[in-house]
Amino acid sequence: MRDRRTTKLLIAVFLIVGLVPIVGALETTPTTIVAASDSSAAAKAAAAYVCDGVNDHVEIQAALNALPSSGGVVLLSSGTYNCAGIIAPKAGSTLKGEGETTTNLVFTRDGRINVDREYVTLDGFHVKGSGYSSNVKWLGVLTVRASHAKVHNITG
């Protein structure tokens, strides 16, 4: 009788110890913060990447590229991001702003967000574009050519 109870107790302990890392892994999503040149000092201090107001797509793309292959979130702090090139989120990633009225992506010279990977989410920012050439096949600030993409709370 005592051996049976000890066995059950050991099995319960192993199950609990084995499930704790799984539950923890499910709850954590890698998040990288990017701050605009006009973001608050606190936002800049918390950011892994701080933009300088020129070609900000470079820092945003670097943050997306730094996410693990399983994906993650790039959080754009409130401010204006001046982008003259392409932002291409990787599969499984989320590009998230702090709101359509406070996070602004301004694209020039054929710059745009190009979603061509699956399971990309765009959320919470305003987009604006100008200065596009007539040679661009996909005119516009946002091009989605992938399945399972989600676009929420984007204005422009």
49 found inside a domain: yes
Query: Is 43 a member of any domain?
Result: yes
pLDDT in tens, the chain (156 residues): 556 666 565 565 555 555 445 444 455 889 999 999 999 999 999 999 999 999 999 999 999 999 999 999 999 999 999 999 999 999 999 999 999 999 999 999 889 999 999 999 999 999 998 887 767 665 678 989 999 999 999 998
Whether residue 11 is contained in a domain is answered as no
What pLDDT, on the 0 to 100 scale, is given for residue 122? 98
Q: What is the pLDDT of residue 101?
A: 97
pTM as predicted:
0.81
pLDDT at 62 (0 to 100): 99
Distance CA 49, CA 65 (A): 12
Residues 6+ apart with CB under 8 A from 37: 50, 51, 52, 53, 56, 79, 80
State the residue for tokens 């000092």.
41
- At CA 105, angle to CA 101 and CA 108, rounded to 5? 140
97/50 Cα distance (integer angstroms): 15
Number of domains in the chain: 1
**What pLDDT does 107 receive?**
94
Specify if 3 maps to a domain: no
Sheet-wide strand order for 112-115: 86-87, 112-115, 142-144
Residue 17 lies in a domain: no
- The answer as to whether 112 is a domain residue is yes
Give domain status of residue 141, yes or no. Answer: yes
Residue 24 is assigned to a structural domain of this protein: no
Quick one: which of 87, 74, 139, 140 has its CA closest to 117?
87
Residue 138 lies in domain = 30-155
